[in-house]
């Protein structure tokens, strides 16, 4: 849904395309004169599905790390820092060398 919404958001404000579509049979079913309202609705849809997509990545990250935690240690996983250090497993603070 996110890719589809991002693909059509610009078409809703292209005047040439809207003018062309007004002359087709679609004009009976689709209100092409409310293109700005439709553009805003698509923008909100993109924002919503972006948040859902990001949440799914976060949920997946936590589940993957919990699987690693039960296999190696009893420590709960932590949130990833903005940078990583080679050779250090940043998911488990107990493994960071002193």
Residue range 29-47, pLDDT digits in tens = 888 888 888 889 889 999 9
What total of structural domains would you count in the chain? 1
In a domain, 96, yes or no: no
pLDDT at 47: 93
CA–CA separation, 41 vs 52, rounded Å?
17
CA–CA separation, 1 vs 8, rounded Å?
11
Mean pLDDT of 16-22: 88
In a domain, 14, yes or no: yes
pLDDT at 8: 82
Which ranges of the chain does DSSP label H, i.e. alpha helix? 2-8, 15-22, 35-72
Question: How confident is the model over 45-85, as pLDDT tens digits?
Answer: 999 999 999 998 888 888 776 666 555 555 555 555 555 55
For 27, the domain range is 2-70
């Amino acid at each position: 849904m996110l890719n589809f919404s991002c693909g059509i958001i610009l078409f809703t404000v292209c005047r040439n395309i809207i003018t062309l579509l007004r002359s087709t049979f679609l004009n009976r079913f689709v209100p092409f004169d409310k293109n700005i309202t439709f553009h805003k609705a698509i923008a909100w849809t993109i924002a919503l599905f972006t948040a859902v997509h990001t949440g799914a990545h976060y949920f997946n990250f936590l589940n993957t790390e919990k699987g690693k935690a039960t296999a190696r240690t009893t420590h709960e996983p932590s949130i990833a820092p903005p940078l990583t250090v080679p050779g250090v497993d940043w998911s488990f603070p107990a493994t960071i060398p002193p």
